[in-house]
Amino acid sequence: MTDLSEKPPVGASVWERDLWTHLTSHVRAERAMLEEYQAAADATGSKALQYLVGLLIDDEIRHHKIFQELAESLRTCAELGQGEPVIPAMDFHQADKREVLDITDRLLDSERLDAAELKRLRKELHDVKDTTLWGVLVEQMQRDTDKHIALLRFVKRHAGSRRF
Ligand SMILES: [Fe+2]
Ligand SMILES: [Fe+2]
């Protein structure tokens, strides 16, 4: 896993400096947690535990990546003339507003169908919810679906807007 240089950005404001400290300390905490999960997965004799910890590791790797990208983007924005930040600016105005709204509405419909389907599946698995991992896994997908809906709503709310 790559590490970002921990030197605060040059010419940063107080707010940027505080945020930088917060982000980089979070990157370190996430890395420590990831190592702990990895050790737990390696040490256990339980395949079920190993499987679930594997899912957590996937999430933590993603969190680590996003925190790194947040810190790198903060650096790019604080140090003027550094080019494009890895996390793009809010340039939704570059896309046709009508088109974005059509796409997000369509995707929101699919996500809502997916949510209803997962709810049904969860009910179907009720009898085995404490004897298999299946129910808890479907529950995680329900949480993912909530996340997808939140992201799409964000895009919809900001369609056509320019914020930089
Ligand atoms: Fe995390
Ligand atoms: Fe989804």
pLDDT digits (tens, 9 = 90+) for 37-60: 999 999 999 999 999 999 999 999
Mean pLDDT to the nearest integer, 16-20: 93
Separation of CA 55 and ligand 1 centre (Å): 12
Phi then psi dihedrals of residue 15, to 5 deg: -60, -45
Given a cut of 60, whether residue 75 has pLDDT beyond it is yes
Q: Which ligand is nearest to the CA of 62?
A: 1
Separation of CA 93 and ligand 1 centre (Å): 32
Give residue 5's pLDDT band: very low, low, confident or very high (50, 70, 90).
low
pLDDT of residue 137: 98
pLDDT of residue 157: 95
Using alpha carbons, select from 136, 153, 4 the residue that is nearest to residue 64.
4
Give residue 164's pLDDT band: very low, low, confident or very high (50, 70, 90).
low
pLDDT of residue 4: 60
Q: Which ligand is nearest to the CA of 146?
A: 2
Q: Which ligand is nearest to the CA of 33?
A: 1
pTM assigned to the model: 0.87
What is the C-alpha to C-alpha distance for residues 64 and 30, in angstroms, rounded to an integer?
Answer: 6
Q: Which ligand is nearest to the CA of 36?
A: 1
- In whole angstroms, what separates CA 51 from the centre of its chain? 20
Tally of CB atoms within 10 A around 20: 20
What is the C-alpha to C-alpha distance for residues 1 and 64, in angstroms, rounded to an integer?
Answer: 9
What is the C-alpha to C-alpha distance for residues 115 and 146, in angstroms, rounded to an integer?
Answer: 8
